[in-house]
C-alpha cells in the first residue's frame, strides 16, 4: 500500500511540477520578449539622438550623433578670428570630447535597465550591450589611454608645425 500511495502521490505531484516549469518558462519568455522590445525601442530612439556642447570659451559649438560622431561644428561670434590655431583646436577638441561623453552617458543610462539581471527570472542575467555597435569601435578605447593623447598631441604638433612654417616662410 505504501508503494501505491507513493506512486499516486508522485503521479499527482508531477503535473503540478510540470505546470510550474511551464509557468516559469512562460514568464521567462514574456520577460525576454519585453527586454528585446525595450532594447529595440531604445536603439530606434537613440538613432535620432544628438548632443550639442559649447566650449568653455564659447568660441565653438559641436554636435555629435548617437555613436559620438561629429555631425556639426560651428564657430561662434567670430571669436575664432582672434584665436591662435592651437587655441581653436583645443576648443574644438574640448567640446567634441564633452559632447561625446554626454552622449555615451545618455546611451548607457538608456540601456542600463536591460543590462541588469531579472528579479523574477534569475536565469535571465541581463543583456550584453555591444557598445562598439552603438558608438563605433572607438568607444572601447580607454579615454585616459595613450591613444587619445597621442592623437591630441599629434594634432597640436601639426598645428604648431604649420604655424612655425608660416613664420619661417613669411
- Report pLDDT digits (tens) over 83-130: 999 999 999 999 999 999 889 888 888 888 888 877 777 777 777 777
Residue 19: the pLDDT is 57
- Local confidence band at 52 (pLDDT 50, 70, 90 cut-offs): very high
Could you give the percent of the chain with pLDDT greater than 70?
A: 66
Q: How far, in Å, CA of 105 to CA of 118, rounded? A: 22
Are 77 and 61 spatial neighbours (Cβ–Cβ below 8 Å)?
Answer: no
- Report pLDDT digits (tens) over 131-154: 677 666 666 666 555 443 434 444
pTM of the model as a whole: 0.59
Taken as a whole, the chain contains a residue count of: 170
Q: How far, in Å, CA of 163 to CA of 154, rounded? A: 14
Averaged pLDDT score across all residues of the chain: 75
Amino acid at each position: 500500500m505504501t508503494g501505491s500511495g507513493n506512486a499516486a502521490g508522485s503521479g499527482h505531484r508531477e503535473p503540478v511540477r510540470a505546470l510550474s516549469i511551464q509557468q516559469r518558462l512562460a514568464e521567462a519568455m514574456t520577460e525576454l520578449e519585453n527586454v528585446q522590445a525595450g532594447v529595440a525601442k531604445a536603439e530606434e530612439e537613440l538613432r535620432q539622438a544628438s548632443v550639442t556642447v559649447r566650449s568653455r570659451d564659447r568660441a565653438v559649438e559641436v554636435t555629435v550623433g548617437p555613436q559620438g560622431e561629429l555631425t556639426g561644428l560651428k564657430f561662434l561670434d567670430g571669436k575664432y578670428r582672434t584665436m591662435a590655431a592651437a587655441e581653436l583646436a583645443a576648443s574644438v577638441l574640448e567640446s567634441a570630447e564633452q559632447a561625446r561623453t554626454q552622449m555615451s552617458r545618455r546611451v548607457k543610462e538608456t540601456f542600463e535597465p536591460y543590462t541588469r539581471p531579472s528579479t523574477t527570472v534569475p536565469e535571465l542575467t541581463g543583456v550584453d550591450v555591444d557598445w562598439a555597435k552603438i558608438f563605433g569601435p572607438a568607444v572601447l578605447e580607454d579615454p585616459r589611454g595613450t591613444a587619445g593623447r597621442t592623437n591630441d598631441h599629434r594634432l597640436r604638433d601639426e598645428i604648431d608645425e604649420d604655424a612655425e612654417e608660416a613664420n619661417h616662410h613669411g
